Structure 1
Amino acid sequence: MPTAARDAWDALNDRQRIYLTVLFHYDQDLEALRRRESARGRFDNTPAKAWRRIPFNNPYGPVPNSLRAQGVYDSGAGATLAALRARGLITTETAPGILRDPVSVWLTRAGRAAARAGTGARPAPARPPKGLLAERLWRQLAAAAAAERDGTRCQEMRGENHLYLCVGYEQYNSRGYLRGRSVPTGTYYVFTEAGRAHYRTHHATYRELYPAVDAPPLAEGVS
């Protein structure tokens, strides 16, 4: 368990932990809904800030109801949110309203990590939306992008990934995003036109889906 995340949780008082936990559970429900929609082929490029937004002060919404049930939804709510925000665990926005000013909350990565450290929750395994690659295959494309014009050495292609990424393996439903190029020093995998288009089109989405993968932007002219 990361020390920073555990330390962040330990630094909170009981009330702040309740708030962070309730917000975390709502955030994870939104994430699960997003995965279900993706599995049904309804994935789109809506930014995370839009679909991860947590309505906070709708009097009869799920977050106020949960906090109210635990006796902590009161006039001190704003101060508690401010304390979590000051620690970098959440961000908030307030919009002008008629009867009240709607408050929206987003958990930061640090906020999710702290909540997981405190509650013992495990992150759900990422499942690629329809049409996108699994993490192991995206990692190979990212390596090819990092290598730029030189490409990735044949020996560096892990396992059977080449069967699903490279030209010449149509029987495995290969995407054809990479092709082999032989030079005196060996064989290298470089991008095809389809591979370049896929990488550039979905780069931001993949970065959000697989944040642990170091995936640089694809340089102009990379082949």
Structure 2
Amino acid sequence: MKLYYAETLSPRKTCALAQYLGLPIDYAFVDLRRGEHTRPDYLAINPNGKVPCLVDGEKVIWEADAIMCHLAQRAESPLWPRGAQQQIDVVRWFSWNSQHLLRHAGALYFEYLIKPWAGLGEPDASKVAEAQGFFRKHAAVLDQHLKGRKWLLGDDLSLADFSVGISLPYAKNAAMPLEEFPEVVRWHDQLNAIDAWRDPFPARQERAAANA
């Protein structure tokens, strides 16, 4: 298997899961700054020009949540539940996150982390305020759901946790008001106890040199 990734939000959850499962994967870093995601050879793999993307033999899978399902199935991991109702619950949280929490957390991530990285100027105060308002709205739903539950589906860690939590490692640097939601903080602290969650990306020469 070959996983194309960048050190950004969506690839982070696929890399974290792959590291957690200990799967034998060839990691291929896609340098977004150099536009490698727009090159013809990459577009031949993923015509969307996005990361992550997984190549497993003849199978090519786009979209981070779908990649996570495939990896869990390959590993025969209970992170992708066996029961149909629990599978529906995982998909429900995938959808909820993409349409609600991640949508607005991602806007803050863009304003505070991507714009400086890409040289696009300072955060837009009006967009920040709007995104923080929606973040609070949806984080409140998550906070209420987590009361009395260890993980999103109950007692057991699942792909839903890997998906929904993915913006939270950036909460402080992206001005997400995470601290207002104690159940979400408690839940994310549990994720942070997982080595692969804290340090999901494989080593690269550039990173190794920077840390030397």
Give TM-score, length-normalised by structure 1. Answer: 0.27
More strand per residue: 1
Give 1 or 2: higher helix fraction: 2
- The structure whose RCO (Cα within 8 Å, separation 6+) is larger is 2
The normalised TM-score by structure 2 is 0.28
